[in-house]
Amino acid sequence: MIDKLNSPQREAVTLPPQHALVLAGAGSGKTRVLTTRMAWLIQTGQVSPLGILAVTFTNKAAREMTARVSSILPIDIRGMWIGTFHGLCNRMLRAHHRDAGLPQAFQILDTADQLAAIKRLLKANGVDDDKYPPREVQRFINGAKEEGQRPSDVEAYDSFRRRMIEIYALYEVQCQREGVVDFPELLLRAYELLSRNEPVRAHYQRRFKHVLVDEFQDTNTLQYKWLRLLAGGGASMFAVGDDDQSIYAFRGANVGNMSDFERDYAHGTVIRLEQNYRSYGHILDAANALISHNNGRLGKNLWTEQGEGEQIRVVEQPTDLSEAQWLVDEVRGLISDGRERSQIAVLYRSNAQSRVIEHALFSAGVAYKVYGGLRFFERQEIKHALAYLRLMANPDDDTSWMRVVNFPPRGIGARTLEMLGDQARAFDTSLSSAVARVPGKGGSNLAQFAMMINKLSFETRLLPLPELVEHVIAQSGLMAHYEQDREGADRIENLNELVNAAAAFVIEADMSGLPAGVVVQAPMTGATTVIADAGQDVVLDPMQEGFNGLSPLMAFLSHAALEAGDNQAQAGQDAVQLMTVHAAKGLEFDAVFITGIEEGLFPHENSTSDPSGLEEERRLMYVAITRARERLYFSLAQSRMLHGQTRYAMRSRFLSEVPDVHMKWLTPKQGLGDSEPRWKTSNYSGDTYGRQAAPRAVPVPPKMLASGVTVGAQQFRVGQGVRHARFGEGTIIGLAGTGLDAQAQIQFRDVGAKTLALGVAKLDIIQS
């Protein structure tokens, strides 16, 4: 059983009955240690199978633990307590439902069911769901429960919080009356059962002699309290985890539990599993160097006997589009070399980044799969936005009508929609055509929705496609709806990315048929693409019928439908794996691309002012690096379309925290110096990726270093005020090129930074 274990693994498996903390680095065989420890305890007669409690976080991990123990020991282990926190608490409450104050057949609400129950509660009690949004109420209730707090335990320090506590109390009464529990309630009710019922607590303390915990760094406050109660009768607690991989603070995980456990229980019995069986040396040394910048670590250093392997390949591209194209070319090369697509992973910090990458893979005919999430055009908020756009193009689209007629909620209920459907069938018309036949308030609300669609169509009839999309997202109420949801940040990023998708579509559409020398300027962003050298420079009118005979909107909707449905991996198909870094935890691949390694993106801009947030971002980067077995890529872009506009980025600080000896730059460093981008000082005070003291440092693209250029009869210089017909007044903060090829980066007062081709854009110089 233990012959194939290395020395630290063997030490952990064969420990006598005592508390111990096992610091298990990435790829160090922690699951093997956990399962072998259980088998060792049983086979050596130290405990019966029923005297072990083993807890983890996912059903997949619990099944794997059970299967491994079963493969080692020739015994029936079905009665063993191996499972997730929620699964084991459910088992305990089923056995003691009366003591827990629950009906025997209590039902469990999943997250969606819980939200529906909260909405029903708010409506029944006349609570304004604009002031108290259901999702925020759900988050408040769950957060309190995960801290072990009932309504009477929560401090009411203002009127809003006092009302939230009252809603929490009403929710508890409703759940008790209906005989249902939500996920956080399972754990809280099980904790209260043990803490308040001495006979039940004593029973489990006598039964479980060994408590083993997987992924201990992901435990929250209440989970740790529950474990302490179970181990309070003298059981040995064996905690396995990695504080360097604690990346779920947003879910309530408390990385400090590991230090607390070492102090309260382990008392110095800390075993470090540092030999990595997954990755080559350059990858591990890079991860070690990066994570060493975090404070308060328990400390470990990964190493391998496999040798150094290849250096990390680093690529810096001018734009996110060229980054995606380079990535696709590299992926094709890996596939040509015999690499399985499923062993290639593309990781990104933000979900919104996937859209550009998906488009590049789609265009190249490379099958891919979005792991643990939806493809860009399948995401709820994107489908909602596209439904509004489809209704503007075709009001008789009943599927789109039904999708958004009451989203965001506008008081149109099921009964009203049923009446509408009856009228449409009776007169053989579309739903929109039957609106006038629905009486009463319901009919009035339907008419208002139809008028809104007509109004959007009228208001956007002359707008370029990206501005049209942006206007519809705002005026439909979608953006405001998700802004009210504190967990809606990803959805907002995706909606902004849809505007970027429209701008990119305008640039890319029908380029093959354009005359030589055309400069295509994207509305909104001002990004330009030169189709060929020399010739007459013109601007492609995004409103012309130049999209294979379709209007820009119809062409874009067709494009979205095709990308949503084609070239996606089928079940079992070999496909490139796309995912966020969070979704990648626990996985490993032969080749890994970590994209968008730019300040403000990775680390995320929301974390850079908070030391604890920045340390979690660094742990996230550590997780990303250690997913790679053989080959690792870092990629970044000097400019990226974010939130509907081009932003210039500086390299992530994480790149400077990895020693150069472990990296191989595949692109020239663009004359930017060894490790830092070149900066130009300006009095500009708007948003940048860096948090600099005034006067603030504004990142300038590497080629934008000219102090002045002449275009025709006009002279432009950095710091000069200019006026644009669409974007308003702004200040030039960077210049590049000469003559008609010159470009200017301009910080506009109202719409942010944009890059314009000076030979195309009509700019008036503001005389100072």
In this structure, are residues 438 and 416 in contact, taking their beta carbons and an 8 Å threshold?
A: yes
Residues 278-296: tens digit of each pLDDT: 999 999 999 999 999 999 8
Task: Collapse the DSSP code of 138 into the 3-class scheme (helix H, G, I; strand E, B; otherwise coil) and give the result.
Answer: helix
In this structure, are residues 571 and 342 in contact, taking their beta carbons and an 8 Å threshold?
A: no
Q: Is the pLDDT of residue 740 over 70?
A: no
Q: Give strand ranges (E) for 371-525.
A: 519-521
Of 325, 328, 344, nearest to 575 by C-alpha is: 344
State the pLDDT at residue 565.
53
- Least confident segment among 345-349, 524-528, 583-587, 668-672: 524-528
Q: Annotated active-site positions, please?
A: 30-31, 214-215, 245, 627
Token digits of residue 638:
């000097």
State the pLDDT at residue 325.
93
Residues 698-736: tens digit of each pLDDT: 333 434 455 688 887 888 888 888 988 777 888 888 777
Residue 625's contacts (CB-CB under 8 Å, 6 or more residues apart) are 283, 286, 287, 290, 594, 632
344, β-bridge pairs: 591
Q: Is the pLDDT of residue 670 over 70?
A: no
Alpha-carbon span 504 to 531, nearest angstrom: 14
In this structure, are residues 424 and 433 in contact, taking their beta carbons and an 8 Å threshold?
A: yes
Token digits of residue 432:
């929109």
How many other CB atoms are found less than 10 A from the CB of residue 730? 26
In this structure, are residues 636 and 381 in contact, taking their beta carbons and an 8 Å threshold?
A: no
Backbone angles phi, psi at 756, to 5 degrees: -125, 145
**CA 651 from centre of chain:** 21
Q: What is the mean pLDDT of residues 20-26?
A: 94
Task: Collapse the DSSP code of 247 into the 3-class scheme (helix H, G, I; strand E, B; otherwise coil) and give the result.
Answer: coil
Percent of the chain that is helix, strand, coil (3-state, to 5): 45, 20, 35
How would residue 493 be classed by pLDDT, with cut points 50, 70 and 90? confident
* Cα→Cα distances 44→38, 41, 49, Å: 10, 6, 12
State the pLDDT at residue 758.
80
Of 468, 474, 387, 483, nearest to 432 by C-alpha is: 387
Alpha-carbon span 92 to 12, nearest angstrom: 29
| pTM, 2 dp | 0.72
Residues 48-104: tens digit of each pLDDT: 999 999 999 888 888 888 888 888 888 777 778 998 898 899 889 989 999 999 988
State the pLDDT at residue 222.
93
How would residue 562 be classed by pLDDT, with cut points 50, 70 and 90? low
Q: Is the peptide bond before 464 cis (omega within 30 degrees of 0)?
A: no
Question: Which segments of 57-127 does DSSP mark as H helices, in order?
Answer: 59-72, 85-95, 111-124
Name the DSSP letter for residue 429: -
State the pLDDT at residue 219.
93
State the pLDDT at residue 643.
56
* Cα→Cα distances 704→401, 535, 641, 642, 679, Å: 48, 24, 18, 20, 10
Q: What is the mean pLDDT of residues 132-147?
A: 92
State the pLDDT at residue 260.
92
Alpha-carbon span 223 to 258, nearest angstrom: 13
81, β-bridge pairs: 53
The H or E element that residue 34 is part of is: helix 30-43
Residues 642-663: tens digit of each pLDDT: 655 677 778 999 999 999 999 9
How would residue 570 be classed by pLDDT, with cut points 50, 70 and 90? low
Please state the three-class secondary structure of 619-685 as a single string.
Answer: HHHHHHHCCEEEEEEEEEEEEEEECCEEEECCECHHHHCCCHHHEEECCCCCCCCCCCCCEEECCCC
In this structure, are residues 106 and 179 in contact, taking their beta carbons and an 8 Å threshold?
A: yes
Of 65, 49, 110, 61, nearest to 585 by C-alpha is: 61
Please state the three-class secondary structure of 683-749 as a single string.
Answer: CCCCCCCCCCCCCCEEECCCCCCCCEEEECCEEEECCCEEEECCCEEEEEEEEECCHHHCEEEEEEC
| Better pLDDT: 271 or 541 | 271
Token digits of residue 500:
């970027």
Name the DSSP letter for residue 515: P
Token digits of residue 294:
């975090």
How would residue 674 be classed by pLDDT, with cut points 50, 70 and 90? very low
- Least confident segment among 342-346, 507-511, 617-621: 507-511
- Least confident segment among 278-292, 309-323, 557-571, 719-733: 557-571
First to last CA, the chain: 82
Tokens 């040798």 map to which residue? 307
Alpha-carbon span 546 to 526, nearest angstrom: 19
Q: What is the mean pLDDT of residues 182-190?
A: 93
Percentage, residues of the chain above pLDDT 70: 86
Residues 471-487: tens digit of each pLDDT: 999 999 999 998 887 67
Of 292, 309, 217, 207, nearest to 254 by C-alpha is: 217
Alpha-carbon span 639 to 700, nearest angstrom: 10
Alpha-carbon span 185 to 207, nearest angstrom: 24
Backbone angles phi, psi at 435, to 5 degrees: -60, -45
Q: Is the pLDDT of residue 549 over 70?
A: no
Alpha-carbon span 275 to 739, nearest angstrom: 59
Percentage, residues of the chain above pLDDT 90: 44
